[in-house]
A = this chain, B = another copy of it.
Amino acid sequence: MSKLVVVGTVAFDAIETPFGKTDKILGGAATFIGLSASHFNTEIGLVSVVGGDFPQEYLDMLTSRGMNIDGIEVVKEGKTFFWSGKYHNDMNTRDTLVTELNVLADFNPVVPESFRDAEVVMLGNLHPAVQLGVMEQTPAAKLIVLDTMNFWMDSALDLLHQVIAKVDVITINDEEARQLSGEYSLVAAARKIHAMGPKYVVIKKGEHGALLFHEEHMFFAPALPLEKVFDPTGAGDTFAGGFAGFLAASGDYSFENMKRAIIYGSNFASFAVEKFGTERMQTITNEQIDARLEQFKALTKFEINN
């Protein structure tokens, strides 16, 4: 079986949306990525850090879904990373209320020995220095996927450029692609980011879908139009996890197969937003995934013979 290393936050989130609010619940990029990737036939090794306040039951849940957590360091005397945010009525914009780095401030990632030969590495949103550290410990990787955000463009752009230069795929949202490239057109932005290193550029547009660029090829996957978006937290991570998990399990990193990976990523993301936090991702079944896949197929299918 192939191996997939996932680095990212494992965290507490407190979320407020127009539909309700939560206390501290399970969150974090690596958590969402792992839950999503766990639907595919690949060994997942999570690399992260939590504090002594992190419940054993959360760790047990990750293990029960087949994830290896040897790479999650537990700092007994520390506190787990905590993020709190409030979504506006349109659900597309949010205010960050609290960010407590806690144990993340001094995190030095260690990839377990048994995962240093992983074929695929998913660099979830974290400090670029941490992402670089993980890449150094996974020299056999055939596919490295980077997810990042504007926060690192503002605070650690040089290091981020070092990461971008080394990865095969970057996933980034539309506004961040514009910031990183200085181009408004996403076609022009993708071309510039392509020149920074990644052979594949995935631009996430939230409810408006996702674009995949490779050389002169383009692919577009819609987001599934939903009756109700309950909580968008973790949708991008869930997308990235489905994308990387599918590719790791198949071992086929071609453009054609990346299209499929993007559809799976979009499929999982459409579930993630249906409940608070990771709740929905913990309950989806293969039957539900397959049924929604049929919806995705129907959504864009047309036949014109000219």
Contact = CB atoms under 8 A, between A and B. Distances in A.
The quantity of this chain's copies bound in the complex is 2
Contacts of A220: 222, 225, 299-300
A219 B300 contact: yes
Interface in A253-306: 259-260, 263, 290, 293, 297-300, 302-304, 306
Interface residues of A, number: 36
Given A208-B205, A222-B209, A222-B220, A185 B302 contact: no
A222 B225 contact: no
A98 interface: no
Contacts of A297: 304
A184 interface: yes
A141 interface: no
A227 to B, nearest CB: 5
A157 interface: no
Interface of A: 89-91, 184-188, 205, 208-209, 211, 217-222, 225-229, 259-260, 263, 290, 293, 297-300, 302-304, 306
30 contacts: A90-B184, A91-B184, A185-B225, A185-B226, A185-B227, A185-B228, A186-B225, A187-B226, A187-B227, A188-B227, A205-B208, A208-B208, A209-B209, A209-B222, A217-B298, A218-B225, A218-B298, A218-B299, A219-B299, A219-B300, A220-B222, A220-B300, A221-B302, A259-B302, A260-B303, A263-B302, A293-B304, A293-B306, A297-B304, A300-B300
